[in-house]
Chain A
Amino acid sequence: MTRARLSAVCVGLSTSGCAGVQSIAPSAGAHTSAFNSLFVVFLVVCGFFYLLVIGFLGAAILRRRRQGEDGVPALFRVWVGLVSLSLVGLALASWLTDRAMASYGDKGPPVRIRLTANQWWWDVEYLGANPSEAVRTANEVHLPIGRPTLIELQSNDVIHSFWVPNLAGKQDLIPGRTEDIALLPRKIGVFRGQCAEFCGAQHAHMALTVVVEPEAQFRSWWRQQQAEAPAPRTPEQLAGMTYVTTRECATCHAIAGTTASASVAPDLTHIASRKTIAAGTLPMSRGGLYAWIADPQGVKPGAHMPYIGLEARQLDAVVAYLETLK
Chain B
Amino acid sequence: MAVALVLLSACDREAREVRGKPLPETAVAAQTSQLFPAGGTAGPIDPRAKMYEGNAYHIAEGGRLYRQMNCVGCHANGGGGMGPALMDDQWRYGGRMDQIVASIDQGRPNGMPSWRGKLTPTQMWQLAAYVRTLSANVAKDVAPSRSDTMSATYPPTLAKPKPPTDSDPAAVKGPAR
Report A's interface with B, CB cutoff 8 A.
201, 246-248, 250-252, 264, 295, 297, 301-302, 304, 306-309
CB-defined interface of B57-87 with A at 8 Å, one 1/0 digit per residue? 0000000100011000000000000000000
Residue of B nearest to A302 (CB): B18
Distance of A302 Cα from B61 Cα, bound (Å)? 10
Q: Whole-angstrom distance from the CB of A310 to the nearest CB of chain B?
A: 10
Q: Whole-angstrom distance from the CB of A226 to the nearest CB of chain B?
A: 27
Whether A309 and B123, one on each chain, are in contact in the complex, defined by CB atoms closer than 8 angstroms, is no
B16 within 8 A of A: yes
Contact of A248 among B18, B20, B68, B118 (CB under 8 A): B118
CB neighbours (8 Å) of A306 from chain B are 20, 120, 122-123
Contact of A307 among B19, B117, B119 (CB under 8 A): B19
Distance of A201 Cα from B16 Cα, bound (Å)? 11
Distance of A221 Cα from B53 Cα, bound (Å)? 48
Asked if A304 meets B64 with Cβ closer than 8 Å, knowing A251-B69, A297-B18, A309-B25, the reply is yes
CB neighbours (8 Å) of B69 from chain A are 251
Q: Size range of the interface on B?
A: 10 to 19
Whether B120 and A264, one on each chain, are in contact in the complex, defined by CB atoms closer than 8 angstroms, is no
Asked if A308 meets B19 with Cβ closer than 8 Å, knowing A251-B69, A264-B68, the reply is no
Distance of A247 Cα from B119 Cα, bound (Å)? 8
CB-defined interface of B35-51 with A at 8 Å, one 1/0 digit per residue? 00000000000000000
Given contacts A251-B119, A309-B25, 16 further A-B contacts (CB under 8 A): A201-B16, A247-B118, A248-B118, A248-B119, A248-B120, A250-B118, A251-B69, A295-B19, A301-B16, A301-B18, A302-B18, A306-B123, A307-B18, A307-B120, A307-B122, A309-B120
CB-defined interface of B101-138 with A at 8 Å, one 1/0 digit per residue? 00000000000000001111011000000000000000
Q: Whole-angstrom distance from the CB of B67 to the nearest CB of chain A?
A: 9
Q: Whole-angstrom distance from the CB of B60 to the nearest CB of chain A?
A: 11
Whether A248 and B19, one on each chain, are in contact in the complex, defined by CB atoms closer than 8 angstroms, is no
Distance of A250 Cα from B69 Cα, bound (Å)? 11
Distance of A264 Cα from B123 Cα, bound (Å)? 15
Distance of A201 Cα from B19 Cα, bound (Å)? 15
A–B complex contacts, Cβ < 8 Å, 8 sampled: A247-B118, A248-B117, A248-B119, A248-B120, A250-B118, A306-B20, A306-B120, A307-B19
Distance of A301 Cα from B69 Cα, bound (Å)? 21
CB neighbours (8 Å) of A295 from chain B are 19
Q: Whole-angstrom distance from the CB of B55 to the nearest CB of chain A?
A: 14
Q: Whole-angstrom distance from the CB of A304 to the nearest CB of chain B?
A: 7
Most buried by A among B18, B25, B64: B18
Asked if A302 meets B16 with Cβ closer than 8 Å, knowing A251-B69, A264-B68, A309-B25, the reply is yes
Q: Whole-angstrom distance from the CB of A92 to the nearest CB of chain B?
A: 48
Whether B117 and A247, one on each chain, are in contact in the complex, defined by CB atoms closer than 8 angstroms, is yes
Residue of A nearest to B24 (CB): A309
Distance of A306 Cα from B69 Cα, bound (Å)? 14
Whether A251 and B118, one on each chain, are in contact in the complex, defined by CB atoms closer than 8 angstroms, is yes
